[in-house]
Every structure is written in C-alpha cells, then in structure tokens.
C-alpha cells in the first residue's frame, strides 16, 4: 500500500483483494470505456488468484477512484483497464496508478509497458501520450475469442 498526498486527499494505491472484485466490476461500468470479454466475476477472480499484485486500485477518502491492471507474463508488460472515476479525473489518480504499475514492472524485470487504447477514446489517448506512451502504427491487434 502506498499513500500519496497532493490534489487527492489521502490517495491510497494498493493491490486489489478478492473482497474488492464486485466493487471493481461496478466501477468499470461507470469509469471504463468499452467492455472486455473478461469483465465478469470469474475473469477478475482468475486474474487476482494468478497474480495478486496485478490489479491495482487507487482510493481517495476510502472511495474507489481508479484502477489499472499491470500484467506481466515474464516477457512483456501489459496495461489494461486504466480507469478513473469521471468525478476524479485530472487530479493525479491516473498518474499515480501508472507510476505504481511501472514500478511493479521494473521490479519484475520488465523493459517496456504497452497499453491497448480504443481508437475512438480521444481522452484516453491524450492521457497515455501525457504519460509518455505512444501508438505504434505498424501493429494491429489480432484476436480470436476462445469461448462462445
């Protein structure tokens, strides 16, 4: 757990626990753009069971203010679900979450972080650019659903 002072009164950044999962799923319906095939209780439970430090939460005054998933597979560092509550944006929550994710990656030996950002989400694109990330136009994401 990391406590930060600044614009957000008593911002606490910490790993999620199984007890947080229902509130995280409800939070994503308000704060996250789009849906993921894994945005259900079973998917998030598997994430936290496999890698208890991957789902990082930011809380302000005891209220969930933001999330990020910092997944590391031993080779690549992947960032998902960077989401900040609309009422708490532009107050350093996203920056604090990304700093925590990047610190985690460095501790694990990661060399580069990548994020998937929806093409239509201009607000997110601005935030990622401000954090030092940039698109790689030579790549396309190819997907195949593995379940019905």
pLDDT in tens, the chain (148 residues): 555 545 545 899 999 999 999 999 999 999 987 677 778 899 999 999 999 999 999 999 999 999 999 999 999 999 999 999 999 999 999 999 999 999 999 999 999 999 988 889 898 999 999 999 999 989 888 888 887 7
Q: CA 27 from chain center: how many Å?
A: 12
Q: Does domain 2-130 have CATH number 3.40.630.30?
A: yes
Whether residue 48 contacts residue 54, with contact meaning beta carbons closer than 8 Å, is answered with yes
pLDDT of residue 1: 57
**38-62 tens-digit pLDDT:** 788 999 999 999 999 999 999 999 9
Tokens representing 128 are 């990622």
Tell me the DSSP string of 96-124.
HHHHHHHHHHHHHT---EEE---TT-HHH
Measured between alpha carbons, how far is 21 from 40 in angstroms, rounded to an integer?
Answer: 9
pLDDT of residue 4: 52
pLDDT of residue 139: 87
Q: Whole-prediction pTM value?
A: 0.90
Q: What are the domain boundaries of the chain?
A: 2-130
Nearest alpha-carbon partner for 13 in 53, 73, 47: 53
């Amino acid at each position: 757990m990391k406590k930060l002072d600044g614009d957000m009164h008593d911002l606490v950044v910490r790993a999620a626990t199984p007890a947080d999962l229902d509130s995280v799923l409800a939070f994503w319906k308000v704060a996250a753009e789009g849906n993921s095939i894994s945005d259900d209780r079973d998917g998030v439970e598997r994430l936290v069971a496999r890698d208890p430090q991957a789902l990082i939460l930011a809380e302000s005054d005891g209220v969930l203010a933001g999330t990020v998933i910092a997944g590391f597979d031993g080779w690549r560092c992947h960032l998902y679900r960077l989401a900040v509550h609309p009422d708490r944006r532009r107050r350093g929550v996203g920056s604090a979450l990304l700093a925590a994710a990047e610190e985690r990656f460095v501790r694990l030996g990661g060399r580069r972080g990548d994020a998937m950002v929806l093409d239509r989400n201009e607000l997110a694109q601005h935030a990622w650019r401000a954090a030092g990330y940039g698109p790689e136009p030579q790549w396309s994401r190819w997907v195949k659903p593995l379940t019905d």
